[in-house]
Amino acid sequence: MLSKLNLHLHTTCSDGKDEPKIIALKAFKCGLKTIAITDHDTIEGYYPAKIMGNEYSLEVISGVELSLEAGEKATCHLLGYLFDPDNSALKKALEKISASRERRNREILKKLEKDGFSLDYEELAQKSGKKKNLGRLHIAAAMVSVGFVKNYHEAFAKYLAKGRRAYLPRYRLEIGEGIEVIHSAGGVACLAHPGEGYPSKTEYERILFKLIDSGLDGIEVYYPSHTHEQIHEFSRQARDYGLVMTAGTDYHGISGRDLLKFDYDIDYNILEKLKEKGGVYARSRPAENSGSYKNIEDNRMDR
């Protein structure tokens, strides 16, 4: 079975345009058999999508995308799959991240007010149609909607990107902590879009080896912006380092991030290998209250 899965989808529960149920319905209509909702730092979209999926015989597996501290002022994105969505350690970690997002958003809005853009957090939530897990993309959308900037690119280039005048850091898990919290919930930890977001091959390899040393399980080999050469290289890395391969389009439902189904063949068997890896952790994870997930300092920030 080929091109029947997409394991990287974002909904309105983070920065996507479509509600979880709508994405599940779209996935079924375009011929997908399995999807994963991988919203940023939240799993709220999983159950609505799964309920809809059950109505249409669409498999929806648990997923999340975490942004991790990688050292030397760098970050990387980790995809977690096949974990217990009710795991208390995972919920605790996500709640801490969500609280940090809110604090940062409020401070960013204060900075923007000095530049002439006046919007309080409650108004931002109302414009975004949500109360939790707001991010810089939602602030950018609000800036565009009132004509303060022309487009998202200008919002980030002038104000919201790292190093720009309204940017502020937020709390993130370290690499080892991120992988541990996914494993403690019985899940599989995979590196997202390895061909995107790294300034050099040397920096990418430094982060990759740090992830592997911390227990990385897989790598997102198939991704829309990956070239044939990159797919070949990431496939080789998966084989050499014993990692499972995953495939996802990073669907957000907005221009440039609106590909729901790959336009080339992908072996559906990679899902079975992912499940085999997930089964190891599902069987071996500690009891719910064992305390395997360490407490993390409240004030750790990204650099």
The predicted-structure confidence for 124-158, as pLDDT tens digits, reads as follows 888 877 667 788 888 998 999 999 999 989 999 99
Least confident of 48-62, 187-201, 223-237, 253-267: 253-267
Indicate if the pLDDT at residue 201 is higher than 70.
Answer: yes
Nearest to 89 by CA among 187, 23, 164, 17: 187
Portion of the chain with pLDDT greater than 70, in percent: 90
pLDDT at 302 over 90: no
Task: Output the pLDDT for position 126.
Answer: 83
Q: How far apart are CA 118 and CA 274, in angstroms?
A: 47
User: Does the pLDDT value for residue 59 go beyond 60?
Assistant: yes
**For residue 117, pLDDT beyond 60:** yes
- Phi, then psi, of 276 in degrees rounded to 5: -60, -45
Q: In the predicted model, what is the mean pLDDT of residues 34-57? A: 96
Q: What is the mean pLDDT of the chain?
A: 89
Quote the pLDDT of residue 1.
Answer: 53
Instruction: Give the integer Cα–Cα distance in Å for 242 and 212.
Output: 10
Q: What is the mean pLDDT of residues 31-44?
A: 96
Whole-number pLDDT of residue 57:
95
pLDDT tens digits for range 269-278: 999 999 999 8
Count how many Cα atoms sit within 13 Å of the Cα of residue 123 in the half-sphere of its side chain.
11
CATH topology of domain 98-160: DNA polymerase; domain 1 (1.10.150)
**What sign has the CA pseudo-torsion 253, 258, 264, 267?**
negative
Helix residue ranges per DSSP H, the chain: 20-29, 46-55, 88-114, 121-128, 136-145, 152-155, 175-184, 201-213, 228-240, 269-284
How far is CA 188 from each of CA 65, 252, 281, 294, rounded to the nearest angstrom?
12, 22, 7, 19
Pick the CATH number of 5-94+174-284 from 3.30.1370.160, 3.20.20.140, 1.10.630.10, 3.60.40.10: 3.20.20.140
| Band (298; pLDDT cuts 50, 70, 90) | very low
Q: Are residues 187 and 83 in contact, defined by beta-carbon separation less than 8 angstroms?
A: yes
> Cα–Cα distance between 62 and 89 in angstroms, integer?
15
How does residue 292 score in pLDDT terms, banded at 50, 70 and 90? Answer: very low
Domain locations in the chain as residue ranges? 5-94+174-284, 98-160
